Amino acid sequence: MMARLLLRAWPRDLAVGLAAPCRTLSAGFEPGQYLQRSIVPTMHFQDSLPRLPIPKLEDTMRRYLSAQKPLLDDGQFRKTEELCKNFENGIGKKLHEQLVAQDKQNKHTSYISGPWFDMYLTARNPIVLNFNPFMAFHPDPKSEYNDQLTRATNLTVSALRFLKALRAGLLEPEVFHLNPARSDTATFKRLIRLVPSALSWYGAYLVKAYPLDMSQYFRLFNSTRLPRPRRDELFTDDKARHLLVLRKGHFYVFDVLDQDGKIVSASEIQAHLKYILSDRSLAPEFPLAYLTSEDRDIWAGLRQKLVQGGNEETLRRVDAAVFCLCLDDFPVKDLIHLSHSMLHGDGTNRWFDKSFNLILAEDGTAAVHFEHAWGDGVAVLRFLNEVFKDSTQAPAVTPQSPPARTDSSRAVQKLSFKLDDAVKAGISAAKAKFDATVKTLTIDCIQFQRGGKEFLKGQKVSPDSVAQLAFQMAFLRQYGQTVATYESCSTAAFKHGRTETIRPASVFTKRCSEAFVREPSKHSAAALRQMVAECSEYHNQLTREAAMGQGFDRHLFALRNLAKAKGIALPELYLDPAYKQINHNILSTSTLSSPAVNLGGFAPVVPDGFGIGSQVLWIPWLERRHSCGCRCTETHAALIQEP
């Protein structure tokens, strides 16, 4: 089978991190400094969030076998069933008891948080394509505001307003409102802020409001994934006040917060960005950014050489920057070109290790590309939504605004790096690998002009279930089989919840797909419609279970991780070819709906797979031809890239 990658719009997954206390950057409430001024403190609900449950072992085994059923023949299924019984009654039972005991001793976090961080940080694959996703903004509705300089200034200022609101505790807490008429009101907010943090979640629950975990948010800013041998490190320096700007492979920094923590004037930021855009320097012969696309151990070794060569302080300026703003010098041609540009670019103008890169094309097309180890898509999507709204409704500058009369040549520092022959050779090797890998990636998209989620809801079926069913039918028609499929689901309703897996390939989708693809004439329209309804009902059940932490993937992952940590021989269940097969996710899928997002994407998680994303009425996809082999590990295959 030709290796295929699928790009999707944006997943539902959520991130986990360590909670950080809110810190006020300035005492007053100066106009234009804060994106929001919530009367309910940002982290008000964090302490009282419920803990992520560990599923019962027998439920995990039952769900695992249900997911295996459409993928195996009768003989294979009987073998896997026997292994599950042995595991449940033997070593699996002991590991489960140990996991539960360990979880009771670590009530400050979730049972999956530590292992999930380790999975990301110990992965040695390049993070570009293998891990990092992107989300693209819609254009500014006022076309004249899409000028690159104007929009870059407005998005930067709005991002800083978000930062200030977050650190001052003025950002609205992330809450899912089941009955917004009761809970998303000024009255409720005035009351709930008076409830002690240790009890606040319960007060929200009484009115069907569900606060979400926000522990990852502090890693949004001033953060970088540092390459280290065997296991990377997440670095954050929230005292740094400068912005990192990349253009044509060159690095620039300037302060965007003053000594009192206030955002410098928008006209000054505009002036400094205009100065950078006027730099006519040719691209460097050895663009350092390529190194962030390398194998992590190789990059760790080369970074050490950079440090030894006198670049330690310069690298720290890169690592500590509030975020990375990437100014590209070409316009976006179409959605496919946009996807290539924002997912990987040409390798010279992104610092892939940064918590996020805010990318602006020459025509003002904008996107957020983010590193995945520090967190999942929920925090990034919230950031993107708020920044889009603020930058379009309360822009800091207009197209007619004159830049400040300031000496940008003194305020803006162009960073230079001392490169020895070993580092230069490393950059050249990284470029060759990057270019070869990118050539294996094909992106395409389908835009649906009819139907849509409102129509499907009117037919009393889940839009997501129908999209997943369509993926199953398409693969069956193209390749004649049903394969392992992954859909991410957030478990952000729990403290330090991350994601759980929905397994869309089921006995229901297999039967329905075969009826439509292979023998449609043998079934009446009513019978086919009933099959679709059954698929929808079962998919909704899987989604509910996953959102409540009642899937099987994370539980089995944690048990396997525990066995390894305790030096226990890998249980036979994990050596079963069926286990490897179900974690070789040929279809990696997700969905996204946001008024701010034009599209989003991620690369497939296996060489012969698709990364499929659906967003409202369209589905983008990527295909990677088989050439990367070892780049996609089994560990990463167990996780869906959600942007």
Which residues partner with 223 through β-bridges?
A: 236
User: Does residue 44 carry a catalytic annotation?
Assistant: no
Distance between CA atoms of 406 and 409, rounded to whole angstroms?
A: 9
Residue 263 DSSP class: B
**Best CA proximity match to 603, nearest among 358, 339, 389:** 339
Tokens matching residue 6: 């699928």
**Selected catalytic residue, list 44, 372, 555, 584:** 372
**Which residues have C-beta within 8 Å of that of residue 267, sequence separation ≥ 6?**
397, 401, 402, 403, 404
**Best CA proximity match to 11, nearest among 550, 609, 498:** 498
Tokens matching residue 496: 């330090």
Tokens matching residue 534: 């059954």
**Best CA proximity match to 641, nearest among 369, 288, 422:** 369
- Rama region for 249: left / alpha / beta (φ>0; ψ in -120 to 50; rest): left
- Strands annotated E in 256-344: 324-327
Distance between CA atoms of 587 and 606, rounded to whole angstroms?
A: 9
Distance between CA atoms of 283 and 248, rounded to whole angstroms?
A: 5
**Best CA proximity match to 123, nearest among 637, 642, 643, 640:** 637
Packing angle, helices 74-89 and 57-68, rounded to 10: 170
Residue 288 DSSP class: G
Residue 141 DSSP class: S
Do residues 42 and 172 touch, judged by C-beta distance below 8 A? yes
Distance between CA atoms of 492 and 215, rounded to whole angstroms?
A: 10
- Strands annotated E in 276-433: 324-327, 356-360, 366-370, 413-415
Residues with a catalytic annotation lie at: 372
